[in-house]
Amino acid sequence: MFAGATPGEVYKKTFELLSEENDRGAVLLSGVITDGILDEMIKRRLIDLPVARKGRLRFQYAAKIDIAFSLGSISLETLTLLHSLRDARNTFAHEVVNSLNDTAISGAIKSVFDAVPSLYEGFMSEWIANLQHTLRDVGVVDESLIAQVSPGARARFNNYLALVAARLHEASTKIEKLSFSGI
């Protein structure tokens, strides 16, 4: 999916793709992107099938998440994040929901944000600090207004999922293939 790309290139491409979509499309596409990266992770780890069986090893998104975890390719937090994303994707795919702020989807989106606290909190605190610094630089002096600055759900989603995709891709490039040790 992102063969040969740097994490920065993956972030940029993912962000661009998500930004071109409405809320529903962004969530669905983020599932497609992370599914593709998981597929690469699993294929890099597993022993290649013989030519006659090539292309027959296919798993659904939920199974890929679980397999990547079971192979030690993703952390428990990332497993939780990806299953939360899968839940959000399924909600958008099977219900009439149009916005990340809709009550039918907002819990799943919050779970995506909350799944890896260290990553999300660091991501948000730096982003908000930069926004606050920019406001002060342009002459905003109302500290109560500055303290309330926070990106909206869609901006957070696009940027955070682009970061997640970049991190997953980076991890996928470091995976070692299993070696045959059976009979």
> How many domains does the chain fold into?
1
38-90: per-residue pLDDT in tens? 999 999 998 887 777 766 668 899 999 999 999 999 999 999 999 999 999 99
Reading the block at residue 61, the tokens are: 């998104």
Confidence at residue 104, expressed as pLDDT on a 0 to 100 scale: 86
Q: Within a domain: residue 108? A: yes
On whether residue 73 sits in a domain, the answer given is yes
pTM: predicted TM-score of the whole model, two decimal places? 0.89
Burial string for 102-111 (b: 16+ CB within 10 Å, else e) reads: beebbebbeb
Of 123, 157, 171, the C-alpha closest to 30 is: 157
Tell me, what's the pLDDT at 56? 66
- What residues make up the domain containing 117? 7-172
Local mean pLDDT, 10-residue blocks, the chain (183 residues)? 94 97 95 96 87 75 96 95 95 88 89 92 92 93 89 92 96 91 81
**Which tokens sit at 177?**
């293939």
